[in-house]
């Protein structure tokens, strides 16, 4: 835009940001700076309508201006309808050089204070996530075994999908959960908990609440899929989607899923720390999903585009890495037979256990490096 018309900038993000558009001024250079607590990426490009160029670095988004401009409007919008991303919208209008200078002097102080607070919050989050007091899982010097929670999908009044040759999803997932528990416990490296070990129904929110109560470092919900076509087969893994993320805060408040923040943290940093923990939780969930896929491929077919995103309720814990694993399709004859056979179940369980071993080996190395 230009010629006196306002300039509008729209920023899409996968998590909520509370950034302000702050002005800075150096000799021959004017910028609008947005501190982004959640960003870890780098990029750059050219602009127009008063913006010469833009650059994105971890923690900061900058717009180089070709004239003095002020942020006259700023909106922060959550995902709505078909728009699945969060948005930050800025409107810029041309102002006098003198007014810009006054505003920039004020904003530079705000920017320095805000970036100092963000740096302190990152340091605290890093300490909590990599040692000392962890938001989830073990504290340093605590129990040596990793806590893994296995959730057998459905159960009791909820049978889930029905297999072509007979059999119910709730029974298949329970047998797989019990077998996975036995394999993990035999290794001696894990404290394994099951959300159910009999044919009972457990509410979705109770499954998540139990995982948090037990200090889960990893939550795996086992399911078996169904499709309209009998030819569809293969396993798939789900992690939280952008739309699902919009439900986390609401459900956390409803169920009192409070993120443990280190004692002594300034109150103004709590929100930033909580956001960092949620982002790290999402990252670790995706890391485990990516480790799980090649292990599953050794045991059985997998779907194309196997790592998927969804808003399943059991993925909503704000501070427990979680995946939902569809072991195969009960509407496919080969998958159904495989999942109901001892041999097929053993192969699937050993694949999952192998991925868990790799995941925690990586986490332990990360912990030792900090």
Task: Report yes or no: 170 and 196 within 8 Å, Cβ to Cβ.
Answer: no
> For residue range 164-221, what is the model confidence (pLDDT) as tens digits?
878 999 999 999 999 999 999 999 999 999 999 999 999 999 999 999 999 999 999 9
The two tokens of residue 169 are: 């999803």
> For residue range 307-357, what is the model confidence (pLDDT) as tens digits?
888 889 999 999 999 999 999 999 999 999 999 999 999 999 999 999 999
Average per-residue pLDDT in the chain? 86
Q: Please name the residue that has the structure tokens 């059999």.
A: 167
First to last CA, the chain: 48
Q: How far apart are CA 18 and CA 75, in angstroms?
A: 10
Q: 3 φ, ψ to 5°? A: 55, 45
156 or 112: which leads in pLDDT: 156
Task: Report yes or no: 288 and 359 within 8 Å, Cβ to Cβ.
Answer: yes
Q: State residue 241's pLDDT score.
A: 87
> For residue range 292-305, what is the model confidence (pLDDT) as tens digits?
999 999 999 999 88
Is the pLDDT at 24 greater than 80? The verdict is yes
The two tokens of residue 149 are: 């929670």
Rg (alpha carbons) of the chain, rounded to whole number: 24
Is the pLDDT at 152 greater than 50? The verdict is yes
357 or 76: which leads in pLDDT: 357
DSSP codes of every residue in 35-79: E-TT----EEEE--TTEEEEEEETTEEEEEESS-EEEEEEEEE--
Q: How many CB atoms within 10 Å of residue 12?
A: 10
pLDDT band at 25 (very low <50, low <70, confident <90, very high): very high
248 or 275: which leads in pLDDT: 248
Cross-strand pairs, 51: 65
Q: State residue 370's pLDDT score.
A: 57
Least confident of 77-86, 90-99, 199-208, 235-244: 77-86
Task: Report yes or no: 180 and 150 within 8 Å, Cβ to Cβ.
Answer: yes
Is the pLDDT at 128 greater than 70? The verdict is no
Is the pLDDT at 38 greater than 80? The verdict is no
Is the pLDDT at 280 greater than 80? The verdict is yes
CA dihedral 342, 345, 348, 353 (to 10 degrees): -90
Is the pLDDT at 132 greater than 80? The verdict is no
Q: How far apart are CA 54 and CA 63, in angstroms?
A: 4
137 or 224: which leads in pLDDT: 224
Is the pLDDT at 15 greater than 90? The verdict is no
**Nearest partner of 134 among 281, 272, 15, judged by Cα:** 281
Task: Report yes or no: 351 and 295 within 8 Å, Cβ to Cβ.
Answer: yes
Is the pLDDT at 126 greater than 60? The verdict is no
Is the pLDDT at 4 greater than 70? The verdict is no
pTM of the model: 0.69
Phi-psi region of 234 (alpha: psi -120 to 50; beta: other; left: phi over 0): left
DSSP codes of every residue in 243-305: HHHHHHHHHHHHHT-PPP--TT--HHHHHHHHHHHHHHHHHHHHHHHHHHHHHHHHHS-EEEE
Q: How far apart are CA 298 and CA 293, in angstroms?
A: 9
The arithmetic mean of pLDDT across residues 39-68, rounded, is 87
Is the pLDDT at 134 greater than 50? The verdict is no
């Amino acid at each position: 835009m230009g010629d006196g018309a306002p300039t509008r900038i729209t920023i899409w993000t996968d998590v909520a940001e509370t950034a302000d558009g702050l002005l800075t001024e150096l000799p021959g250079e004017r910028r609008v700076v947005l501190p982004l607590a959640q960003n870890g990426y780098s990029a750059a490009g050219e602009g127009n309508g008063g913006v010469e160029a833009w650059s994105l670095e971890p923690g900061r988004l900058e717009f180089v201006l070709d004239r003095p401009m002020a942020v006259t409007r700023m909106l922060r919008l959550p995902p709505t309808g078909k728009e699945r991303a969060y948005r930050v919208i800025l409107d810029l209008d041309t102002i006098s050089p003198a007014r810009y200078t006054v505003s920039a002097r004020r904003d530079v102080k705000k920017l320095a204070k805000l970036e100092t607070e963000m740096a302190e919050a990152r340091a605290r989050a890093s300490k909590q996530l990599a040692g000392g007091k962890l938001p989830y899982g073990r504290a340093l010097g605590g129990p040596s075994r990793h806590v893994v929670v296995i959730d057998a999908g459905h159960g009791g009044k909820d049978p889930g999908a029905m297999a072509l040759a007979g059999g119910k999803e709730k029974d298949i997932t329970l047998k797989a959960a019990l077998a996975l528990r036995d394999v993990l416990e035999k290794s001696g490296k894990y404290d394994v908990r099951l959300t159910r070990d009999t044919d009972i129904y457990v509410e979705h929110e109770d499954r998540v609440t139990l995982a948090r109560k037990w200090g889960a470092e990893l939550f795996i919900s086992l399911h078996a899929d169904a499709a309209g076509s009998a030819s569809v087969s293969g396993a798939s893994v789900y992690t939280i989607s952008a739309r699902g993320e919009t439900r986390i805060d609401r459900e956390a408040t409803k169920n009192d899923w409070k993120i443990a923040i280190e004692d002594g943290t300034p109150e103004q940093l709590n929100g930033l720390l909580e956001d960092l923990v949620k982002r790290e939780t999402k990252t670790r969930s995706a890391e485990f999903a990516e480790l799980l896929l090649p292990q599953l491929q050794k045991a059985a077919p997998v779907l194309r585009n196997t790592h998927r995103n969804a808003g399943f309720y059991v993925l909503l814990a704000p501070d427990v890495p979680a995946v939902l694993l569809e072991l195969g399709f009960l509407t496919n004859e080969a998958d159904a037979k495989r999942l109901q056979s001892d041999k097929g179940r053993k192969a699937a369980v050993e694949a999952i256990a192998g991925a868990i071993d790799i995941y925690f080996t990586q986490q332990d190395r990360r912990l030792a490096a900090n």
